[in-house]
């Protein structure tokens, strides 16, 4: 295996997908350790770094793979078949790496990726941040950011902050790039699902952030933030990408649920019936048929969304707002389909599902927690798209 921060000779984005597929067994073997640590075990992180997993969205100029969105989805979905929590951290780190490469000045990008294998994490909300303008930037007096996924692998953090105009007046939300040495991790990630993501809360106090390391969240969303790299990947529309990448680990977990349920059928009966083998019961066949249809349809929806994002970016046009809203809507719907499919099989698993060590229970919890992110809220995304079709102004910030 190559050393940390160096891709194996001849590595391509397609080879990384195959590598991730072959890594599923090792991820599953490490699940108990991931749960105990509430973050990816270090040996798992090192192998993913060496394989180029975290470098999927880093520009080739800095040793990255600069893969398209479809390849990104395939890679993270395979990792999600192994451990959805670990895959969740990967999808957020690769999203933040993309954010740095696409939205920040080139000299800042060069500073971040000067060391091969660099990872960036982030939380874009600034709801608990107090900051004020100072010469050359802002001073974050105090701030807390919740669910900082992938931060244990990161050397830099992207954190939501307020911005100010030249007169010192509020100018909307921004995203500040800060070194991890300025960030305190609270080590408080203790959940029933997505445990391997290591999504601890973080804080900062009295930290100066230079203006060159702050970008406008609204400018990023609206496609007017200057791009350091003209390549297609970094022209992808912001909001559908940031929503879409959250479905990737969930899709992998859904596929894992089907595999695990079918594999354990010979060991289960249906109590209070004449079926000594659950796999012989027609109701089981119906349950598998419906669950697999939902989960496979969700994957098709996201494959189409990724293809659309890639095509718009390759054409050099910024995706129109209605289509951005539709992909966000479709992502939320895909997540719900996976949850519905997983829940059907969980319900069919009987009372043994309640055991904390039951892998079906673990997947069930992962999918439920993975669908709780506000970017993939079904009611919010459905309402937003419906408002736009009804010619009513949408009231969500990021579309």
Quick one: 366 and 272 in the same domain?
A: yes
Quick one: 363 and 246 in the same domain?
A: yes
Cα separation of 334 and 243, whole Å? Answer: 11
Helical (H) or strand (E) element with 205: strand 202-210
**CATH number of the CATH domain containing 205:** 2.40.110.10
- 148, 134 Cβ separation under 8 angstroms: no
Output the pLDDT for position 12.
72
- What tokens appear for 24 in the block? 């599923």
The residue among 56, 89, 113 that closes a domain is 113
pLDDT-based confidence at residue 296 (cuts at 50, 70, 90): very high
The residue among 164, 183, 216 that closes a domain is 216
- What tokens appear for 242 in the block? 């940031």
Output the pLDDT for position 396.
67
Output the pLDDT for position 11.
60
Mean of the pLDDT values across residues 262-278?
81
Using only C-alpha atoms, the chain has a radius of gyration, in whole angstroms, of 21
Output the pLDDT for position 149.
98
Mean of the pLDDT values across residues 155-173?
95
Mean of the pLDDT values across residues 246-267?
96
Output the pLDDT for position 35.
94
Is the per-residue pLDDT at 335 higher than 60?
yes
**CATH number of the CATH domain containing 339:** 1.20.140.10
Mean of the pLDDT values across residues 223-230?
93
Is the per-residue pLDDT at 373 higher than 70?
yes
Is the per-residue pLDDT at 8 higher than 70?
no
Output the pLDDT for position 266.
87
**Can you tell me which residue has the tokens 């078949």?**
81
- What tokens appear for 346 in the block? 């969980």
Output the pLDDT for position 269.
76
Task: Tell me the pLDDT tens digit for each residue of 23-80.
Answer: 999 999 999 999 999 999 999 999 999 999 999 999 999 999 999 999 999 999 999 9
Length in residues, the chain: 399
Cα separation of 373 and 335, whole Å? Answer: 10
pLDDT-based confidence at residue 9 (cuts at 50, 70, 90): very low
**CATH number of the CATH domain containing 39:** 1.10.540.10
Is the per-residue pLDDT at 3 higher than 60?
no
Q: What percent of the chain has pLDDT over 70?
A: 96
The model's pTM: 0.94
Domain that holds residue 176: 120-216
Quick one: 174 and 189 in the same domain?
A: yes
Is the per-residue pLDDT at 6 higher than 60?
no
Cα separation of 81 and 87, whole Å? Answer: 9
| Cβ neighbours of 273 (radius 10 Å) | 10
Mean of the pLDDT values across residues 119-144?
96
Phi-psi map region of 302: left, alpha, beta (phi>0 left; psi -120 to 50 alpha): alpha
Mean of the pLDDT values across residues 264-271?
83
Quick one: 60 and 26 in the same domain?
A: yes
pLDDT-based confidence at residue 277 (cuts at 50, 70, 90): confident
Cα separation of 23 and 344, whole Å? Answer: 28
Report yes or no on 157 lying in a domain: yes
Report yes or no on 6 lying in a domain: no
The total number of structural domains that make up the chain: 3
pLDDT-based confidence at residue 280 (cuts at 50, 70, 90): confident
pLDDT-based confidence at residue 5 (cuts at 50, 70, 90): very low
Cα separation of 237 and 322, whole Å? Answer: 12
Residues in contact with 383: Cβ distance below 8 Å, sequence separation at least 6, in sequence order: none
pLDDT-based confidence at residue 352 (cuts at 50, 70, 90): confident
CA distance readout (Å), 84 to 74, 250, 269: 13, 7, 28
Average pLDDT over all residues of the chain:
94
Which residues partner with 173 through β-bridges? 162
pLDDT-based confidence at residue 14 (cuts at 50, 70, 90): confident
The residue among 187, 216, 245 that closes a domain is 216
Is the per-residue pLDDT at 150 higher than 60?
yes
Q: Please indicate whether residue 2 or residue 280 has the higher confidence score (pLDDT).
A: 280
Quick one: 340 and 299 in the same domain?
A: yes
Interaxial angle between packed helices 282-315 and 247-264, expressed in degrees from 0 to 180 and rounded to the nearest 10: 160
């Amino acid at each position: 295996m190559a050393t940390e921060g160096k891709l194996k000779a001849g590595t391509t984005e397609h080879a990384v997908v195959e590598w991730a597929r072959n890594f599923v067994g090792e991820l599953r073997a490490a699940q108990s350790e991931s749960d105990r640590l509430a973050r990816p075990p270090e040996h798992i992180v090192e192998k993913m770094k060496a394989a180029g997993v975290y470098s999927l969205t880093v520009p080739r100029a800095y040793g990255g793979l600069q893969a398209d969105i479809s390849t990104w989805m395939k890679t993270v979905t395979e990792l999600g078949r192994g451990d959805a929590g670990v895959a969740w951290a990967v999808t957020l780190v690769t999203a933040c790496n993309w954010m740095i490469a696409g939205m920040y000045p080139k000299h800042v990008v060069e500073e971040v990726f000067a060391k091969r294998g660099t990872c960036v994490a982030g939380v874009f909300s600034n709801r608990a941040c107090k900051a004020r303008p100072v010469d050359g930037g802002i001073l974050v007096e105090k701030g807390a950011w919740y669910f900082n996924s992938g931060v244990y692998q990161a050397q830099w953090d992207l954190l939501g902050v307020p911005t100010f105009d030249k007169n010192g007046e509020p100018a909307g939300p921004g995203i500040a790039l800060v070194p991890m040495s300025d960030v305190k991790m609270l080590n408080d990630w203790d959940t029933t699902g997505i445990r391997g993501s290591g999504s601890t809360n973080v804080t900062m106090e009295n930290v100066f952030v230079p203006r060159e390391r702050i970008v406008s969240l609204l400018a990023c969303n609206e496609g007017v933030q200057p791009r350091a790299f003209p390549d297609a990947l970094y022209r992808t529309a912001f909001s559908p990408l940031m929503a879409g990448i959250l479905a990737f680990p969930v899709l992998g977990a859904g596929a894992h649920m089907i595999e695990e349920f079918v594999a354990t059928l010979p060991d289960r009966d249906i109590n209070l019936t004449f079926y000594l083998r659950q796999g012989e019961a027609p109701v089981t066949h119906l349950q598998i048929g419906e669950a697999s249809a939902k989960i496979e349809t969700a994957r098709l929806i996201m494959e189409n969304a990724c293809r659309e994002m890639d095509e718009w970016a390759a054409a050099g046009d910024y995706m129109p707002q209605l289509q951005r809203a539709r992909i966000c809507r479709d992502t939320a719907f895909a997540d719900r389909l996976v949850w519905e499919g997983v829940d059907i099989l969980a319900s069919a698993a009987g009372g043994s599902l309640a055991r904390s060590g039951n892998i079906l229970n673990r997947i069930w919890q992962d999918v439920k927690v993975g669908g709780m992110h506000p970017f993939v809220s079904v009611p919010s995304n459905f309402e937003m798209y419906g408002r736009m079709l009804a010619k009513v102004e949408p009231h969500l910030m990021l579309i």
